[in-house]
A = this chain, B = another copy of it.
């Protein structure tokens, strides 16, 4: 039986063997939720980059550019990091180059893995189903907040573990803790997360609507995976009416 483990921060990634594994990269608020939303609304591919300048340069290649720093859209870019900005038809059939504080880092640091999948509550079942088919050991890589543990990525890891329970082994402490926390939070995740420093920081930026959206389960049947130098969608995009 394949296993599932959780790495709470990119700063701990060196402790994990990535080769031959499926990594699920997650940054619920908001990078990976936004990437999933972009694919659901027709983006053809997404290029996650670390630096603002590198991201800006992709405009010359005809890409849309998206950047967020400290929770706010960076100046001089087409898009920020709010999923709602990706729903107006603008991203359809386009390549989006995106740089975000934490999420991009989690993806790019996982390149030794056999497969990198972008996870969010929005595409939870699509990822779970893909992992059942892959039958590889899974490592959920939480983006965290500037390298530190955060609750929302951990809750996602718990939600994914719950979906895979009985089909994957998860006897390690990080997965068990994630599952316990998800069980404590699942009936009202918005209230649960309102205690979180990161969420309160975002609420100060008036993006409460984003947070509620990013916590919705199974809204989109999309499956972003890393191919060579970018993310592509393994499923035909399919918006479920949001």
Chain A residues with CB under 8 Å of chain B are 8-9, 11-12, 15, 145-151, 154, 171-174, 176-177, 180-181, 184, 195-198, 200
Q: Given A146-B15, A181-B180, are A171 and B200 also a contact pair (CB < 8 Å)?
A: yes
Can you pick out 24 interface pairs between chain A and chain B where the beta carbons lie within 8 Å of each other? A8-B8, A8-B149, A9-B12, A11-B15, A12-B12, A12-B148, A12-B149, A15-B146, A15-B147, A15-B148, A148-B173, A148-B174, A149-B174, A149-B177, A151-B177, A154-B173, A171-B196, A171-B200, A173-B197, A173-B198, A176-B195, A176-B196, A177-B177, A177-B181
How far does the alpha carbon of A197 sit from the alpha carbon of B174 in the complex, in Å?
Answer: 10
In chain B, what residue has the closest Cβ to A153? B173
Among B145, B176, B184, the residue within 8 A (CB) of A151 is B176
The 3 tightest CB contacts between A and B, nearest first, are: A151-B173, A149-B174, A15-B147
Among B9, B149, B177, B195, the residue within 8 A (CB) of A171 is B195
New contact pairs (20) apart from A12-B147, A12-B149, A173-B198, CB-CB < 8 Å:
A11-B11, A11-B15, A12-B12, A12-B148, A15-B146, A15-B147, A15-B148, A148-B172, A149-B173, A149-B177, A151-B176, A154-B173, A171-B195, A171-B196, A171-B197, A171-B200, A173-B197, A177-B181, A180-B180, A180-B181
Q: How near does chain B come to A125, taking the closest CB pair, in angstroms?
A: 25
In chain B, what residue has the closest Cβ to A195? B176
The interface centre, meaning the residue of A9, A146, A172 with most chain B CB atoms within 10 A of its CB, is A172
How far does the alpha carbon of A145 sit from the alpha carbon of B200 in the complex, in Å?
Answer: 31
In chain B, what residue has the closest Cβ to A7? B148
In chain B, what residue has the closest Cβ to A172? B197
Q: How near does chain B come to A164, taking the closest CB pair, in angstroms?
A: 16
Q: How near does chain B come to A40, taking the closest CB pair, in angstroms?
A: 28
How far does the alpha carbon of A184 sit from the alpha carbon of B183 in the complex, in Å?
Answer: 10
Write out the residue numbers on chain B whose beta carbons fall within 8 Å of the beta carbon of A196: 171, 173, 176
Write out the residue numbers on chain B whose beta carbons fall within 8 Å of the beta carbon of A8: 8, 149
In chain B, what residue has the closest Cβ to A183? B184
In chain B, what residue has the closest Cβ to A15? B147
Write out the residue numbers on chain B whose beta carbons fall within 8 Å of the beta carbon of A147: 12, 15
